Amino acid sequence: MTTKNRYAEYDSLASMYDDQNKQRHDIVVEQLEQLVLQHLPKPARILDICCGTGQIAQRLLQKGYQVTGIDSSEEMLRYARKNAPHAEFILEDARFFQFTSIFHAVISTDVGLNLINTLEELQSVFQNVYQALRENGIFIFDLYVEELCIEDWQTTKIQGEAKENNAWINQFDYDVETKIGCDRTTRFELIDGQWQRFNMTFNWKLYSVTDVKSTLAKVGFTDIVFYDIKNDFGIESSGHVGCFVCRKS
């Protein structure tokens, strides 16, 4: 992986991300069970793109699947290798990875694909996924989408939390013209007896369901279905997240 494709800002987020998402990832795996896992053989091969700290990978390993995870943050993968030591993890950008017809399913959770900020680059991700899947393989991913988020995103939000060894404050603003939400986080962590500060900025692109479906179809995916996770599955903690499921024809 070339240096230009690395996302060093994500490294400083890794410990907070790993700590805050443990219980929620149990819910994510339940959702995967309903939509994907029940249709797969064991031991099916699953690719987790934007895999983060490997908590989903570990739960899939426990269910008997073989898991490969890719992420563009070295620190995220350092946690992932501890959380899921029997999975394979690769430092790579979702826009550029290459596998050929080896996975029964590809997953992407935690709205990682909203960090892909153009439809053209999102199509590149979809093409990489299509190439990586076996015939009739399943692709499932979640996204913030316009139809569910636009009203909520247009309200500026400030939130934060303080614990014994770390604290953070976050401000979120949405640009209607670019359809990008700017997520600014300042985080403090007590390391070796001294407080250290980390500043992070993430840009989340808001896509429409129509654009995502048409881009998937353009790549070759079929049986494309969209779910509103909160309303279709009753998962209140999901917020305004949608989920797409499709197959390689």
Q: pLDDT tens across 140-158, in order? A: 999 999 999 988 888 888 9
Residues 177 and 109 in one domain: no
Strand-by-strand arrangement of the 241-248 sheet: 88-91, 66-71, 45-49, 103-108, 133-144, 241-248, 221-228
Residues 6+ apart with CB under 8 A from 199: 184, 185, 186, 187
Residues 106 and 175 in one domain: no
- Report residue 208 as tokens: 């429409």
Angstrom distance (rounded) from CA 76 to CA 13: 8
pLDDT tens digits, one per residue of 39-92: 998 889 999 999 999 999 999 999 999 999 999 989 899 999 999 999 999 999
Q: Give residue 1's pLDDT band: very low, low, confident or very high (50, 70, 90).
A: very low
Residues 182 and 220 in one domain: no
Angstrom distance (rounded) from CA 148 to CA 238: 11
Residues 6+ apart with CB under 8 A from 248: 130, 133, 134, 135, 136, 137, 138, 139, 220, 221, 222
Residues of the domain holding 61: 3-145+207-248
pLDDT tens digits, one per residue of 171-196: 999 999 999 999 998 989 888 899 98
Residues 174 and 192 in one domain: yes
Residues 213 and 101 in one domain: yes
Specify the number of domains making up the chain. 2
Residues 128 and 214 in one domain: yes
**Alpha-helical regions (H) of 89-208:** 119-132, 146-153
Residues 198 and 242 in one domain: no
| Model pTM above 0.75 | yes
Residues 53 and 140 in one domain: yes
Q: Average pLDDT, stretch 212-233?
A: 94
Q: Is the pLDDT of residue 2 over 60?
A: no
- Report residue 130 as tokens: 């299509």
Q: What is the CATH number of the domain that holds 165?
A: 2.20.25.110
Residues 219 and 243 in one domain: yes
Residues 81 and 197 in one domain: no
Return the minimum-mean-pLDDT range out of 15-19, 80-84, 210-214, 244-248: 15-19
CA distances from 96 to 6, 155, 165, 169 (A): 12, 34, 37, 32
Residues 62 and 175 in one domain: no
For the chain, what percent of residues have pLDDT higher than 90?
Answer: 66
What pLDDT sits at residue 238? 52
**Alpha-helical regions (H) of 46-186:** 55-62, 74-83, 119-132, 146-153
Q: Average pLDDT, stretch 100-114?
A: 95
Domain finish residue from 173, 189, 204: 204
Q: What does DSSP assign to residue 109? A: -
Residues 134 and 194 in one domain: no
